Amino acid sequence: SQQGEEDPQALSIQEGENATMNCSYKTSINNLQWYRQNSGRGLVHLILIRSNEREKHSGRLRVTLDTSKKSSSLLITASRAADTASYFCATVITDSWGKLQFGAGTQVVVTP
């Protein structure tokens, strides 16, 4: 079974709007990472948040982590058509040799 579960599965917004997606996980983690995947391409690392961190920013991205609820959220502000992609959360489970466990992803479509 997958460690992370993203919500929603799909999201359609217009340019300029904010996009928020959530990720829940099951076991204790070292860190949680978010990746973007354009159709048919490899994954691109967006941001990493460690288990002792609560919030992190990178450009238009904001990630929060709530270890008590075993959940994280990714916010993309002022979305652009180029943000159209699938977004995955992935966790590094404690004592797992750094293995990443992925959720099924959120498919985001940003229309001009």
Partner 1 sequence: DGGITQSPKYLFRKEGQNVTLSCEQNLNHDAMYWYRQDPGQGLRLIYYSQIVNDFQKGDIAEGYSVSREKKESFPLTVTSAQKNPTAFYLCASTNGDYGYTFGSGTRLTVV
Binding site for partner 1 (CB under 8 A): 2, 4, 30-31, 33, 35, 40-48, 50, 88, 90, 92, 97-105
Smallest distance from the beta carbon of 63 to partner 1, in angstroms?
A: 12
Smallest distance from the beta carbon of 104 to partner 1, in angstroms?
A: 5
Q: Looking at beta carbons, which pairs linking 95-101 to residues 24 or more positions away fall under 8 Å?
A: 96/30, 98/30, 100/33, 101/2, 101/3, 101/4, 101/25
C-alpha span between 67 and 57 (Å, rounded)? 18
Nearer to partner 1, 79 or 103 (CB): 103
Residue 79: helix, strand or coil by DSSP? coil
Residue 89: helix, strand or coil by DSSP? strand
Nearer to partner 1, 17 or 47 (CB): 47
Nearer to partner 1, 2 or 14 (CB): 2
Residue position matching structure tokens 């204790």: 28
Smallest distance from the beta carbon of 16 to partner 1, in angstroms?
A: 28
C-alpha span between 27 and 20 (Å, rounded)? 23
Nearer to partner 1, 45 or 54 (CB): 45
Smallest distance from the beta carbon of 112 to partner 1, in angstroms?
A: 25
